[in-house]
């Protein structure tokens, strides 16, 4: 039995939904970032699998995924820098407690 | 091959569910690491070896280490991490299930064109990848390459400025 394209999209969909659930539910800012990484990874899997199955002679999906990985790394680094700055100011990384704009 | 796919798919599903439902944040980072390894396994199965290598090096080796550093800098793991996920759990669950339902229906109703076998792909060498990445013709990626180098420069400068000690 060969593995069809549809079989790859189901774990990717579940990973995306877990990312959505974690993004909306978690209180810790770093846990929200982890859920964001889950969402980005599921989209990368979709790109790669569609490229391989539907357009095996072109490489656009792979290049898009390559650049998406680089952009996700840059964005995660900057988000963690902001979170560390916020932690230095308020000693707290809860999203619910970060509701004052100044001070 | 089917057994390998079954193991990798189960690993992705189980570890991603565990990542968002665990209470301790350091465990969430570890489960994320396993999820990223399973994703790299999918890339290797799709004959994209360079992409799998980049996934392991950048994601599993760079971003997860960054997460662990930031977790250890901003909290004492294991001490007061009991109620990590208690912020509108019902609404989050409804949103996730609605996403799964809509996307799943879209998948299943259009499944007729997604049931072919895996076609053959000629071996994509590193020389070809380098030529494609740096060429300015139709299949080239010189412009995104330069743009992403500017983005990384901006990210470095921004990160240093934001996290600077006053």
H-state helical runs in B80-141: 89-109, 126-134
Q: Which CATH number is A23's domain given?
A: 1.10.287.3510
Most confident of A96-100, B2-6, B148-152: B148-152
For an interface test with B, the pick among A25, A52, A72, A78 (most B C-beta atoms closer than 10 Å) comes out as A25
- Residues B62, B67, B73, B78, CA torsion sign: negative
Question: Quick check: A93 pLDDT over 60?
Answer: yes
Average pLDDT over residues B7-29: 93
Q: Which residue of B has its CA nearest to A92?
A: B74
Q: Which of A1, A6, A41, A94 to mutate to test the interface with B (most CBs of B within 10 A)?
A: A41
**Residue A102: is its pLDDT beyond 70?**
no
Contacts of A12 in chain B (CB under 8 A): 12
CATH topology of domain B1-111: 1.20.120
Distance of alpha carbon B110 from alpha carbon B105, whole angstroms: 8
Tokens of B122: 């000629």
B153 at interface of A, judged by CB pairs closer than 8 A: no
Residue A85 lies in a domain: yes
Residue A49, domain extent: 8-90
> How many domains does chain A divide into?
1
3-state per-residue secondary structure call for A42-53: HHHHHHHHHHHH
CA gyration radius for chain B? 20
Hey, where are the domains in chain B? 1-111, 124-166
Q: Would you state the pLDDT for residue B120?
A: 78
Q: Which helix (H) or strand (E) holds A92?
A: none
């Amino acid at each position: 039995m060969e593995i069809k394209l549809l079989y790859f999209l189901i774990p990717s969909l579940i990973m995306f939904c877990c990312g959505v659930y974690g993004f909306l539910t978690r209180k810790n800012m770093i846990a929200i970032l982890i859920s964001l990484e889950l969402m980005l990874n599921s989209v990368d899997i979709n790109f790669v699998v569609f490229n391989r199955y539907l357009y095996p002679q072109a490489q656009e999906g792979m290049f898009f995924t390559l650049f998406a990985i680089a952009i996700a790394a840059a964005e995660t680094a900057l988000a963690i820098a902001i979170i560390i700055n916020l932690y230095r100011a308020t000693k707290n990384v809860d999203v619910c407690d970060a509701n004052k704009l100044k001070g | 091959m089917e057994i390998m796919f079954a193991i990798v798919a189960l690993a992705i599903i189980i570890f991603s569910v565990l990542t968002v439902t665990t209470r301790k944040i350091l465990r969430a980072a570890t489960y994320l690491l396993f999820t990223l390894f399973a994703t790299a396994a999918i890339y290797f199965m799709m004959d994209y070896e360079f992409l799998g290598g980049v996934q392991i090096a950048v994601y599993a080796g760079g971003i997860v280490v960054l997460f662990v550093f930031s977790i250890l800098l901003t909290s004492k793991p294991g001490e007061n991490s009991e109620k990590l996920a208690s912020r509108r759990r019902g609404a989050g669950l409804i949103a996730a299930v609605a996403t799964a339902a809509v996307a799943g229906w879209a998948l299943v109703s259009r499944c007729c064109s997604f049931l072919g076998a895996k076609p053959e792909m000629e071996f994509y060498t590193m020389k070809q990848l380098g030529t494609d990445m740096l060429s300015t013709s139709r299949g080239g990626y010189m412009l995104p390459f330069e743009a992403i180098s500017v983005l990384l420069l901006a990210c470095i400068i921004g990160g240093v400025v934001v996290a600077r000690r006053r």
